[in-house]
Each structure stands twice: as C-alpha cells, then as structure tokens.
Chains A and B, each alone.
Chain A
Amino acid sequence: MHWNSLADFLAMGDHGLYVWGSVVVTALLMIAEPILVVRGRRKLLLRLMRQYRAEGVDRRDHRQPTTRRSPA
C-alpha cells in the first residue's frame, strides 16, 4: 500500500482536484452511458409491445367484429 492515510489519498499530493475531477467525470460518463442504453431499450420494448398489441386487436376485430368489448 502506497498511502499512509485516507487524507493523503484524497489530497493526491496537492493534485486532488485534478485527479478526482478526472475520475469523477470519467466514472459518471461510463455509468451514464449503459444506463441511457438500457433506458432506450426499455422505451423501445414498451413501444413495440404496445404497437403489436394494437395490431393484434385490429386483426381480431376483422375476424369477429361483433365480439368487440369496450375496455373495462
């Protein structure tokens, strides 16, 4: 272990601001990117499912127009 104390580690020999500034921004970006990707994917899945369901309803309607019920 190179460091004597936590304070030493955080100070980084007076370059703490620069070192931790780099670390924090890099970490934030590298965490944000996968989160954004996952969120985009979820949104897409919801949209597609809604779309398919709507199409499915349409198809059923064409086959049996009389059994259509209003959504409860």
Chain B
Amino acid sequence: MSHRLINWFRYASPQTFYPLAGKMIPWFWMLAAIFGLTGLSIGFLLAPTDAQQGEGYRIIFLHVPASWMSMFIYLVMSFWAAMGLAFNTRLSGMMASALAPTGALFAFISLWTGALWGKPMWGTWWVWDARLTSELILLFLYIGFIALQAAIDDPRRADKAGAILALVGVVNIPIIYFSVKWWNTLHQGASVSLTKSPSMATTMLWGMLLCALACWMYSIAVALMRARTIMLERERHTDWVRTLLAAKE
C-alpha cells in the first residue's frame, strides 16, 4: 500500500513527469487527428440533412463539443486546484494553469459558433438565453483566473491564489446558472426556446461524440505541452533541467 502511494507521488514530481508527458503528447495528437477527421467526415459528409434546421445544424459538430470541453476543463482545473491545496504538490498547480487557456479557448469557440448558429436559426447573433449567458460568464471566470495568475510573480502564490479562485468559481457556477435561468424565465423578451434539441439521427450522434473525443485528446495534448513549458520555467534552477538542456545542446 505504502509502496504504491510512493509510486503515485513519484509521477507527481516534475522531474519524472516531464519525460513521461513528452512521450505521451504525440500519441494524444495522433488520437486527436484520427477522432477529429472521422468525426468531421461523418458530420460534414455522411450525416443527413436535419429536417428543421437544414444544413446549418452542422455547426453542432463544433459547437457542442466545444461547450462540453469548456465546462469540463473548468471542473478538471478545479480538481487539480483542490489537489494542489490538499496535498501541496507542485504538479497540480502547473496542470491547473496549463488547462486554463485551453478552457478559455473552448469557451470562446462555443460562443462564436453559437452566434453563427443562432443567426440563421433564430435570426439573431445573440440571445440572452440561460445557457449562452452562463457560457459567457464561464469565459469571464477563465479570464479572471488567467489574469490573477499572470499578476502574481511568485509561482507558488500564483498557484494557491488561482486554486482558491477556481474553487470559489466552481461552487458559484451552479448558483450563477440557476439565477440566470430564473432571470431568463421571467424576462420572456427573447422568445426563442433553445431547449428543443433537434432529433438526432444516430450518424449525427456518432459524429458529435467523435468530435468531442477529438477535443478531449486535443485538450490533453495542448495542456501537457503547456505544462512542460511551465515546468521548465519554474524548475530552471534545478539540476534536472540543467542536465536536460545540456544534453540538448
């Protein structure tokens, strides 16, 4: 038992994690490419036209995976944040800061594709629907996290402050979502219902799931790459980084 525990924490040290991540990154890129290409070809070449929305619905293959990822990455980020606060491991903070920009990117993609989907379907780029508004607020939360970490010079303090903010954010997200939803049902000005999802053919579902998997693999690959850079930067005074770079020269 204790032996296993030690083994786990061994991977939590940047020195052992760095080469491991380096070996895993190409595999995740490959998987991302495979899933992405099959998902997109199913979505854009094979899937039938939607009865209600015509061809415009194909944005769903980008929009839904991006929205899922933006929410999920926030959860993963908070998980790492909690681990960092609880066990004080260096790696957790690095993973959280490596994930944030990717999460913000997906939140932005989700908003962008949502606007381009909304224009032909409901005739407007933006509606103050509960889900769209929450996504926007999620983007704000990501930006707050990134800005806070960027403003603090000491990486240990940046990690901890970011972790507290991420946890406060994750507690608040359901409250924000509920309040926005409440607000939305009272103001019926927008008068478009988003809750009615298009009936999904199985091919559509498959395309979407594959695209979502591709986004997963992409996020892992990019986050690992960014984490490796952060590791080198923070551990630049240690011997392992010195020997690593000496070998490169």
Contacts and interface: CB of A to CB of B under 8 A. Distances in A.
B228 A41 contact: yes
Interface residues of B, number: 41
A71 interface: no
Contacts of A25: 109, 112-113
Interface string B122-162: 00000000000000000000000000000000000000000
Contacts of B108: 29
B229 A37 contact: yes
Interface string B37-52: 0000000111111000
A59 to B, nearest CB: 12
Interface string A1-32: 11100000100111100110111011001100
Contacts of B54: 13-15
Contacts of A21: 116
Contact of B48 (A2, A34, A37, A44): A2
B237 to A, nearest CB: 10
Contacts of A13: 49, 54-56
Given A34-B225, A44-B229, A22 B63 contact: yes
* Most chain B CB neighbours (cut-off 10 Å) among A18, A26, A40: A26
Contact of B55 (A19, A22, A23): A19
Contacts of A26: 62, 66, 109, 112-113
Nearest to A16: B55
Contacts of B232: 41, 44-45, 48
